[in-house]
Amino acid sequence: MKINWGTAIVIAFAIFISFILYFVIHVQSDSKYDNELVVEEYYKHDAKFGDEMARIQNAQDLAQKPVITNTADGITIVFPELFVPENIKGKVVFYRPSNKKFDFEVPLSGSSLNVPKKKLLGGRWNINMEWQYEGKQYLTKEIIYVE
């Protein structure tokens, strides 16, 4: 049986469309490929973007900034000595871009914080430190890679 070029093109399109549909269905049904939102309430979060930028600018304007370091023991956050530890209030949010299940937050208490390495999986972590000192609000963002 001889197939003409028009039939061959239709068969090729049908095979290509089947191939694409197979992968779309496979990715949507496999839990390994979760499609999670970065932020649960995106529009509410986006409405407060100007406030967030002001807090980031407050943190950048500081003469001495808190230092976030990745050590062999874990992640350490240290505030400069000019900050009174009792006046520092806030939280540190550890956000794992690849899997929301591993996100967690730790309250700030005192002038230093140490998060042990056993609590952190290897890979990229976005760290958002939301804190206030003497009535002024600050936001420090950092990206850390844990091995």
Q: What is the pLDDT of residue 34?
A: 63
95 and 46 share one domain: yes
- C-alpha 103/C-alpha 85 separation (Å) is 26
Q: Are residues 61 and 11 in the same domain?
A: no
Q: What is the pLDDT of residue 84?
A: 87
- Position 130 scores a pLDDT of 92
Per-position b or e across 46-58, b if 16+ CB within 10 A of its CB: eeeeeebeebeeb
Do 5 and 58 sit in the same domain of this protein? no
Structure-block tokens of residue 56: 């980031």
Residues 65 and 18 in one domain: no
Domain with 91 in it = 42-146
Read off the tokens for 93: 């949010």
Domain identity same for 17 and 56? no
Q: What is the pLDDT of residues 115-134, one digit of tens each?
A: 998 888 888 899 999 999 88
**Segments of the chain scoring below 50 in pLDDT:** none
**In 3-state terms, the chain is what percent helix, strand and coil (to 5)?**
35, 35, 30
> 């370091």: which residue's tokens?
69
91 φ, ψ (degrees, to nearest 5): -150, 160
